[in-house]
Amino acid sequence: MKDLFDSFNGKKIMIVGDVMLDIYMKGKVERISPEAPVPIVAVTETFSRLGGAANVAQNLKALGAEPILCSIVGNDETSNDLHNLMKEQAMSDIGIVKSEERITTRKVRIIGNNAQMLRVDTEDTFDLTEKESHSLINRIHAIISEERIDGIILQDYNKGVLTEHLIREVISTANKNGIPVGVDPKKKNFLAYKNATFFKPNLKELREGIGMSVKDDSIEDITKAVDKLQSELECRFIMTTLSERGVLIKDYENNVMHHIPAHLRKIADVSGAGDTVLSVAMLCLVCEEDAHNIAALSNLAGGLVCEELGAVPINKTRLLEECKKIMN
């Protein structure tokens, strides 16, 4: 297993999607406001983290890979804060394009007595303009032509970056260059990812994306839904995350399927777990691991980050230790 983890080092993974700044304001609640029936949070700590597709980049970086983040942000203070956080983590910003036509997504979470009480989002969610799309696609093409890209992740948060046109363009370019593509979709463009390599919906997204009734506890139902989805997308791998029931992966090239149960965890926060799952799965994929190991390792990683508050990257050392205990 250590050999696999060592092989993650230096892998160049491009991440295309919506980036955002996550801000956390933590404090104590000891009284109710006299102005309205709401708690007063006396803030004791404020900190920022990379969010959205940038959290995928953080996870890849933590695993030893070299992430190249490609996105559109606003020309504003929030994008400057994002840039500074990326710089602190020695993360390249060559794929970040600034636009005067939108603002950078910013999510502020108010946490009182260790419980999230409120989230305030500042964002634009309309699709990229033609000008923005052209600029980002040109930047992506330039990076692919200049760098040895081992894999591409398309990470959608419904903030407008992953339009149908951009999705098709990136997948087509990747396939021409023999680069595998992993996808974390949202409902809006769910069926636009035809010919991607690896597709990772959750159960809710699977139901809504193909319009089928699927029982939570029926592997038979889930398998039928996955088969219907594959007939539309023609992906090699489809891995459905099932929350407390683990993950189900199907490899259509080798005609194998595995259901990996979840590991019992003390859950603190599920935000960012999907980012971790896809990051680990993509690195396993580019290192030519089989479907079982892709699912087992990424499922384990997703559970570990749920023990932490907020979207935090996976700890590579701890993941390796857990793998040795559980998977060997």
- Here the tokens at position 55 are 């959290």
Short-list 218, 143, 223, 229, CA closest to 179: 143
* Active-site residue identified among 18, 124, 275, 290: 275
251 tagged catalytic: no
Residues of 70-109 as b/e, b for ≥16 C-beta within 10 angstroms? bbbbbebebbebbbebbeeeebbbebbbebeebbbbbbbb
Short-list 267, 259, 256, 265, CA closest to 242: 259
Euclidean distance between CA atoms 112 and 40, whole angstroms = 9
Q: Which residues contact 258 (CB under 8 A, 6 or more apart)?
A: 248, 249, 291, 292, 295, 296
Q: Yes or no: say if 116 and 30 are a contact pair by the CB < 8 Å rule.
A: no
Which residues are identified as catalytic? 275
